A and B are shown apart, each in its own frame.
Chain A
């Protein structure tokens, strides 16, 4: 079998909690929520008012860091991705020149695999070309398409962030973009892990960036009936595993990690946070609008990841759940965990990062993976917020409201996408034997 091992050597994170990994981690441990009242302009009447927005000061800081891109690029997520990529690379390669000292042929073994979400559907791209009769004027649009705003879906290819990062930092190897809704970032990290293991690359920057905080994005999950009911207290809106949970709360930002082949990392004396031990992905083939009620696909994804990692269910100490706070997900995920772990399910710690930073949609697996790695590295688990009245169907240890200190030798990070795609990644403490 394949002997190459894959370790995590760099972390980057930008969310509603802040722009530094440490800041995110400390706030999450302290139970500080990133979910606040929406500040997006002209959205006072938006049916969604609670979101995990990157705050204005932090957004300005990102723009100052990349002034040219802030000018040229249309999407917030592209800048989030640039920011976290730079942070993760600096974390992994803490020299002033980043990767500039490496030869071209060495950099051909460095790649990027990112998750990407939906482009921005701008209502202005329609409104601007409506004629006097209330019809869309295709002819005029055809003549004037160059006037579309830089934010428009037409100007932002989904592989733009991965290309921009590769270009900026000189990563000339494998470069891919994954678009599987909420499973995207976990599948990006899993695909990167496999790509390194297969020997097609030595270092891959992997994760995702997303933002759906824009007019159509804000009503997107309301239309689907998946958005949480509004509440007077925004930070209490997302309530995974609670009896009163009513849906998901959107966040925005990015989580990106540097994955590296083990000997490549040790030979250059890199700090190793943890090892990726296994990855599994399945698909429900049930319904496109709902997860399998018993989490059949989720169960199989966890089993596949454990098999890939060659460890038993009893060796897992912690699960960073998909935990969206929707009625269907949380009970199905709980059943899936019980089916995989049997009695041991009750010994596990399970939390939901979405209760803290919201659902980063395509990017969600990115920051959640960073949190999983930190838990394995530091033996601490951030709490699930707003879990005050547990759903009787959800009777496991979800680390409610207060952080937990516990030895975490191995952990799983779960992501399940709309449509039925499931991805699980096993992370374990790094040992050099």
Chain B
């Protein structure tokens, strides 16, 4: 008999909170984690905001300061969520042997911190401030911390989690965009189905917001770089920011703008959408078979029943084609043996880019044409930003909260909606609804896309 793959643990970190419940409650009450970036002087960038995570402490995560030196924020987020998912599923290293635990994660591009290399570069400059490679190779490079190279390998963060939790089984790291987050969970689910592991940790983590990640997403043409007509910060560029402005306060409540213009937000499916806003965050779930969960008397939250990946690069822009997006959704439905009308909600990729959302709208219209007026659609990106590789796992966990509580939060800042939309975007206020199945979409600006279906289990 087909033994279902179920989710038995969850760990989330986002700009809305450091746990599943904090993130879910803030989202439900209309919170938005997008705030001014304060980590570096952002005034030169057209995009000055992001949905950032603050206050993770290596010490609280049990990380030795020696290791912390090569662990940037993405590593800490991955560590925290993995530990939390483990605890949440009531697993201890003793209860399941490490060989029987798998780990599949999706991670973004790893950027260097400019300050980590600055002194090596300064030592390698000639009198005209040009690079002198003889100086770099002879001595300049020796100013780089010898273990710095490890911080540039994203599988090192992954291996640090593995050492911390004693995982020794099947594993890999996918990269770098949202589709890879779904691929990690697909690989994890199959590992359970094929009995190559009793338990799998799977999910993904975003990149750290940095000058490099802003440059990368601007260059890819997905970032909201619209120039706001009003100054971005209510107090004006020259006034020192208060702790509240620095994001050290709770996320914004519904209706609060935090002093910056609507123009700078991420507006999934909005008529006036101008691009995405990057976010920091991570989601990790534990997967196991239903029979294993029952045997352990562990809680189980939802089943994973269908999934698929596809590729199609839109010629004119950086997103998948509507054909590829439809393909992924239809194959996922086929795999789960479902009709489109069996889906109660789509958590869309919905990143607030003009063409990305347009193609996804077309794809949903196509795949769900027979039931389009009944289809509900949500996107988390208006509130938590675009988490890239971290997005699908966070969306799955939010989806589980929706299945459990029978309520769909409103998409932040979507109104007024794109007029071409024929499905129902939950945008004014949360919608109470009994939900059974949710389809979750993910895509990359390079053209990859993936869909996955979760289902309530009794």
Q: Across the interface, do B146 and A157 meet the contact criterion of CB distance under 8 Å?
A: no
* Chain B residues with CB under 8 A of A183: 155
Q: Across the interface, do A172 and B168 meet the contact criterion of CB distance under 8 Å?
A: no
Q: Across the interface, do A121 and B121 meet the contact criterion of CB distance under 8 Å?
A: no
* Chain B residues with CB under 8 A of A112: 311
- Whole-angstrom distance between the Cβ of A17 and the nearest chain B Cβ: 27
Q: Across the interface, do A288 and B163 meet the contact criterion of CB distance under 8 Å?
A: yes
* Residue A320 CB within 8 A of the other chain: no
Residue of A nearest to B215 (CB): A145
Q: Across the interface, do B133 and A215 meet the contact criterion of CB distance under 8 Å?
A: yes
Instruction: Report the Cα distance A173→B175, complex, angstroms.
Output: 17
- Whole-angstrom distance between the Cβ of A226 and the nearest chain B Cβ: 9
Instruction: Report the Cα distance A175→B176, complex, angstroms.
Output: 12
* Residue A67 CB within 8 A of the other chain: no
* Residue A154 CB within 8 A of the other chain: yes
* Residue A70 CB within 8 A of the other chain: no
- Whole-angstrom distance between the Cβ of B132 and the nearest chain A Cβ: 9
Q: Which of B103, B129, B216 contacts A155 (CB 8 A)?
A: B216
Q: Which of A126, A138, A218, A285 contacts B40 (CB 8 A)?
A: A138
* Residue A130 CB within 8 A of the other chain: yes
Contacts A180-B173, A194-B190, A224-B146 given: A172-B107 contact, CB under 8 Å?
A: no
- Whole-angstrom distance between the Cβ of B200 and the nearest chain A Cβ: 12
Residue of B nearest to A41 (CB): B133
Q: Across the interface, do A127 and B444 meet the contact criterion of CB distance under 8 Å?
A: no
Q: Across the interface, do A285 and B117 meet the contact criterion of CB distance under 8 Å?
A: no
Contacts A281-B171, A300-B99 given: A419-B153 contact, CB under 8 Å?
A: yes
Q: Across the interface, do A288 and B219 meet the contact criterion of CB distance under 8 Å?
A: no
Instruction: Report the Cα distance A36→B169, complex, angstroms.
Output: 39
* Chain B residues with CB under 8 A of A130: 118, 121-122, 125, 129
Residue of A nearest to B315 (CB): A167
* Residue B141 CB within 8 A of the other chain: yes
Kindly name the residue among B134, B158, B327 whose own CB sees the greatest number of chain A CB atoms within 10 A.
Answer: B158
Contacts A42-B133, A174-B309, A176-B174 given: A283-B167 contact, CB under 8 Å?
A: yes
* Chain A residues with CB under 8 A of B152: 118, 121
Contacts A282-B168, A283-B169, A419-B159 given: A159-B448 contact, CB under 8 Å?
A: yes
Q: Across the interface, do B154 and A163 meet the contact criterion of CB distance under 8 Å?
A: no
* Residue A181 CB within 8 A of the other chain: yes
Instruction: Report the Cα distance A422→B311, complex, angstroms.
Output: 29
* Chain B residues with CB under 8 A of A187: 172
Instruction: Report the Cα distance A93→B420, complex, angstroms.
Output: 43
* Residue A286 CB within 8 A of the other chain: yes
Q: Across the interface, do A172 and B310 meet the contact criterion of CB distance under 8 Å?
A: yes
* Chain A residues with CB under 8 A of B160: 288
Q: Which of A19-27, A44-52, A258-266, A406-414 contacts B (4 or more CB under 8 A)?
A: A44-52
Q: Across the interface, do B107 and A179 meet the contact criterion of CB distance under 8 Å?
A: yes
Q: Across the interface, do A173 and B137 meet the contact criterion of CB distance under 8 Å?
A: no
* Chain A residues with CB under 8 A of B168: 282-285, 297, 300
* Residue A34 CB within 8 A of the other chain: no
Kindly name the residue among A118, A283, A287 whose own CB sees the greatest number of chain B CB atoms within 10 A.
Answer: A283
Q: Across the interface, do A176 and B215 meet the contact criterion of CB distance under 8 Å?
A: no
Residue of A nearest to B184 (CB): A176
Contact indicator per residue, chain B 176-196, by CB within 8 Å of chain A (1) or not (0)? 110110010001001000001
* Residue B136 CB within 8 A of the other chain: yes
Q: Which of B147, B171, B445 contacts A289 (CB 8 A)?
A: B147
Range of interface residues on A (Cβ < 8 Å): 35 or more
B window 6-57: CB within 8 A of A: 40-46
Q: Across the interface, do A153 and B173 meet the contact criterion of CB distance under 8 Å?
A: no
Contact indicator per residue, chain B 189-214, by CB within 8 Å of chain A (1) or not (0)? 01000001000000000000001101
- Whole-angstrom distance between the Cβ of A340 and the nearest chain B Cβ: 15
* Chain A residues with CB under 8 A of B144: 219, 223
B window 260-275: CB within 8 A of A: none
* Chain A residues with CB under 8 A of B445: 157
Instruction: Report the Cα distance A172→B327, complex, angstroms.
Output: 9
A window 101-160: CB within 8 A of B: 108, 111-112, 116, 118-119, 121, 123-124, 126-127, 130, 134, 136, 138-146, 148, 153-155, 157-160
- Whole-angstrom distance between the Cβ of B291 and the nearest chain A Cβ: 18
Contact indicator per residue, chain B 91-128, by CB within 8 Å of chain A (1) or not (0)? 00000001100010001011110110110111011000
Q: Across the interface, do B311 and A171 meet the contact criterion of CB distance under 8 Å?
A: yes
* Chain A residues with CB under 8 A of B124: 123, 127
Residue of B nearest to A46 (CB): B137
- Whole-angstrom distance between the Cβ of B44 and the nearest chain A Cβ: 3
Contacts A163-B448, A285-B167, A286-B163 given: A121-B174 contact, CB under 8 Å?
A: no
Instruction: Report the Cα distance A139→B41, complex, angstroms.
Output: 6
- Whole-angstrom distance between the Cβ of B424 and the nearest chain A Cβ: 29
* Chain B residues with CB under 8 A of A418: 150, 153, 155-156
Q: Which of B45, B214, B309 contacts A175 (CB 8 A)?
A: B309
Instruction: Report the Cα distance A1→B183, complex, angstroms.
Output: 23
Contacts A127-B131, A141-B44, A300-B99 given: A180-B122 contact, CB under 8 Å?
A: no
Q: Tally of A-B residue pairs with Cβ under 8 A?
A: 268
Contact indicator per residue, chain A 185-197, by CB within 8 Å of chain B (1) or not (0)? 0010001001000
Instruction: Report the Cα distance A289→B115, complex, angstroms.
Output: 23
- Whole-angstrom distance between the Cβ of A89 and the nearest chain B Cβ: 15
Contacts A121-B152, A142-B43, A285-B166 given: A218-B137 contact, CB under 8 Å?
A: yes
Instruction: Report the Cα distance A47→B98, complex, angstroms.
Output: 40
- Whole-angstrom distance between the Cβ of A360 and the nearest chain B Cβ: 15
Residue of A nearest to B98 (CB): A285
* Residue B258 CB within 8 A of the other chain: no
- Whole-angstrom distance between the Cβ of A328 and the nearest chain B Cβ: 15
* Chain A residues with CB under 8 A of B196: 304
* Residue B402 CB within 8 A of the other chain: no
B window 436-458: CB within 8 A of A: 444-448
Residue of A nearest to B121 (CB): A126
A window 186-212: CB within 8 A of B: 187, 191, 194, 198, 200
Contacts A118-B153, A142-B44 given: A126-B118 contact, CB under 8 Å?
A: yes
- Whole-angstrom distance between the Cβ of B107 and the nearest chain A Cβ: 7
Q: Across the interface, do B44 and A138 meet the contact criterion of CB distance under 8 Å?
A: yes
* Chain B residues with CB under 8 A of A220: 149
Q: Across the interface, do A139 and B43 meet the contact criterion of CB distance under 8 Å?
A: yes
Residue of A nearest to B139 (CB): A45
Q: Across the interface, do B310 and A108 meet the contact criterion of CB distance under 8 Å?
A: yes
* Residue A417 CB within 8 A of the other chain: yes
Contacts A130-B129, A158-B176 given: A142-B163 contact, CB under 8 Å?
A: no
* Chain A residues with CB under 8 A of B344: none
- Whole-angstrom distance between the Cβ of B445 and the nearest chain A Cβ: 8
30 A-B contacts (beta carbon < 8 Å): A44-B134, A108-B327, A111-B311, A121-B112, A123-B124, A123-B136, A127-B124, A130-B118, A130-B122, A138-B40, A142-B42, A142-B211, A146-B218, A153-B212, A155-B216, A157-B216, A159-B446, A160-B446, A173-B311, A179-B175, A180-B158, A191-B172, A194-B190, A200-B309, A215-B133, A223-B141, A283-B171, A287-B163, A288-B156, A421-B171
If A157-B177, A288-B67 are given as contacts, then 14 extra A-B residue pairs at C-beta distance below 8 Å, sorted by A number, are A43-B137, A119-B109, A127-B124, A130-B129, A142-B45, A148-B219, A175-B447, A178-B172, A194-B190, A222-B141, A282-B168, A283-B168, A285-B165, A419-B159
- Shortest Cβ-Cβ A-B pairs, 5 listed: A142-B44, A419-B159, A163-B446, A142-B45, A139-B44
- Point out residues on A near B: beta carbons under 8 Å: 42-47, 108, 111-112, 116, 118-119, 121, 123-124, 126-127, 130, 134, 136, 138-146, 148, 153-155, 157-160, 162-163, 166-167, 171-181, 183, 187, 191, 194, 198, 200, 215-216, 218-225, 280-289, 297, 300, 304, 417-421
